[in-house]
Chains A and B, each alone.
Chain A
Amino acid sequence: MTGRAARRILALALCAAFLAGCASPLKRAKVHYARAQELDRSYESGPAAAAMKRALLEAGAAARKNPSAQAYTLKGLAEARLERWADAAASFRRAFAFGFEPGESWAADVALLGAALSFEASGLADAAGRVYAHLMARSKFAPVRTAAAGKHVDLALSRALAASDKDRDKALAGLVKDVGRLLDDDYASGFAHYLLSQVLAHRGELRPSYEEAVLARELGLPSEKVLRDNDNQIVYCRDRVREALGPEERAAFDVVHDAWAARWGWRDARTPPWKKE
């Protein structure tokens, strides 16, 4: 057993023992939330979301049983992490009413994001795009900033596709800068590298796009679906990069790519483990 595995088992055992001894839903919510944050920091985003879902169930019970700023703040944080924006805004407003000062601005950011999502759903893409760009640049609440970044990039890419060549190049260059600022804030964000990889592919820069997608996979992604999309990006870029290389360079590229594929447990150079056989 490796040291890391042993530490993980010990942490799980301690966590389980602590949970068993916890009497109140609020305490259990805090333990699950702390565990989710720890997993997030280790880029284990799937288990982190699961821990957050458990934290949400317990925080919801705590808020019903004994309403408090802490219970509503925890509930709002878990809801935001799980992208339940309208619920999160309501929880932060309740937390503010119970005396949690930042709750007001967090609720405003979350509500703004919810409004932008509604704008987009009802066809007001330009208005939604402006709000996403604002939140991506200004929000102090990280879950909102990340979600807004994804939406901003997607909308901007769709507008760029419809533009003339010159305007498209300009828009894509702007997007590279936008995502670059996100990376300046947190270079270890797998999601930001995923976004950059997507933008670079639109610019036809497939080797850098491949490298960003590899980095994103290594750093961790926020959901199984994003991970799968990123894997498809890796396969697409890998195919196209290989096609453009001479025999010697291609062989060297294959050695590197095959090493990554083996490290990730892929069945072969083009087949991630989640693909149906």
Chain B
Amino acid sequence: MSRKDIEQALVRGVEALAAFLPSAPSLLFPVLSSVCVWAVRRVFNYRDHILTWKVWLDPETIRTKPDDFIRHFFAKDPVLAGVYAAELEAGDIKGLRAAFPALYPVLGLEDAFLRGLFRAELAAGDLRRIVAEFEPRAAAAAESIKPAEADPAFWKFLETFGMELASLGLHLLKDGTVEDLILAAIEAKRPEEGGSA
């Protein structure tokens, strides 16, 4: 594995992906990190996984959970238990239930796309901000990606790009390192656009 090769591939990937998402630079990171999840894991049929994975919200799971499931979700995760200690201690199930629809997809289901979308908040441990901004930001992301979704070339790109990353040995790097490399590649594109990614 050559780290330089991976860096160069990611820069090329950002360039190509930006063409599919011309009006949504904020989606570059979530989409790229979704693709990298499968490339990193290097599962036998990763090509299929990339094609299968929906990189945006899909509400096919049962979202209505019992109170005790929600309490268990907050109490058993050390980060959540810390941030929501007051609600847990007071038995404020109403407060926990209000935060659950935003935090469960991100932390419970570990949706790669949503984790990418809220990367800054996750890094800062600002989970309450995710709850406050989840609906408008997720809805805007889903809307922005629609034109690319309908383009067969978009899927072809994700597939071949994931294969290229896997063949370069991305699986040997830690998740955090991969995220840093993606961010660096996006940053590298910024000056020529004069906008934020």
Q: What CA separation (Å) do A230 and B152 show in the bound complex?
A: 31
Per the bound structure, the CA–CA distance linking A221 and B52 in Å amounts to: 13
Q: Is B51 an interface residue (CB 8 A)?
A: yes
Give Cα A47–Cα B44 distance, bound, in whole angstroms. Answer: 11
By the criterion CB–CB under 8 Å, are B62 and A195 in contact? yes
B48 touches A240 (CB 8 A): no
Report Cα–Cα, A50/B60, bound state, in Å.
17
Whether B109 is near chain A, meaning CB under 8 Å from some CB there, is: yes
* B72 x A225 contact (CB < 8 A): no
Cβ A83 vs Cβ B60 within 8 A: yes
- Tell me the complex Cα distance, A195–B62, Å: 8
CB contacts under 8 Å to B, within A198-241, are: 198, 201-202, 204, 222-226, 228-229, 232-233, 236, 239-240
Residue of B nearest to A198 (CB): B62
Kindly list chain B residues whose C-beta atoms are within 8 Å of the C-beta of A54: 51
- Kindly report which residue of chain B lies nearest to residue A274, judged by CB atoms: B110
Q: A201-B66, A239-B76 are in contact. Are A49 and B109 (CB under 8 A)?
A: no
Total number of A residues with any Cβ neighbor in B under 8 Å: 38
Contact partners of A236 in chain B: CB under 8 A: 69, 72-73
The distance in angstroms between the C-alpha atoms of A117 and B62, with both chains bound, is 15
A-B contact count (CB 8 A): 86
**In whole angstroms, what is the CA distance A16 to B18 when docked?**
32
Per-residue 0/1 for A171-203: is the Cβ within 8 Å of any B Cβ (1 yes, 0 no)?
A: 000000000000000000000001100100110
Distance (Å) between the CB of B182 and the closest chain A CB?
Answer: 16
Residues of B89-135 contacting chain A, CB below 8 A? 108-111
Contacting residues, chain B, for A50 (C-beta < 8 A) = 45, 47-49, 51-52
A239 to chain B: closest residue by CB: B72
With both chains docked as a complex, state the minimum distance between the C-beta of B85 and any C-beta of chain A, in angstroms. 20
Residues of A within 8 Å of B60, CB to CB, are 83, 147, 150, 222-223, 225-226
Q: Interface size class for chain B?
A: 20 to 34
Tell me which residues across on chain B come within 8 A of A223, comparing CB atoms. 52, 54, 58, 60
Q: Is the CB of A49 within 8 A of B52?
A: yes
- A-side contacts of B61, CB under 8 Å: 225-226, 229
Contact: B58 with A161, CB < 8 Å? no
| Least CB separation from B159: chain A residue | A50
- A67 interfacial contact with B, CB 8 Å: no
Q: What residues of chain A lie closer than 8 Å to B5, measured between beta carbons?
A: none
Determine, out of A68-76, A133-141, A151-159, the stretch whose residues face the partner at the interface: A151-159
- Pick the 4 closest A-B CB pairs, nearest first: A50-B48, A50-B51, A157-B64, A229-B61
- Given contact pairs A49-B51, A198-B62, A236-B73, enumerate 5 new A-B contacts (beta carbons under 8 Å): A60-B152, A83-B58, A157-B62, A240-B72, A276-B110
User: Can you list 19 pairs linking A and B with CB atoms under 8 Å apart?
Assistant: A47-B52, A51-B48, A53-B51, A53-B52, A57-B152, A202-B64, A204-B66, A223-B54, A224-B52, A224-B53, A225-B58, A225-B61, A228-B110, A229-B109, A232-B73, A233-B69, A236-B69, A236-B72, A274-B110
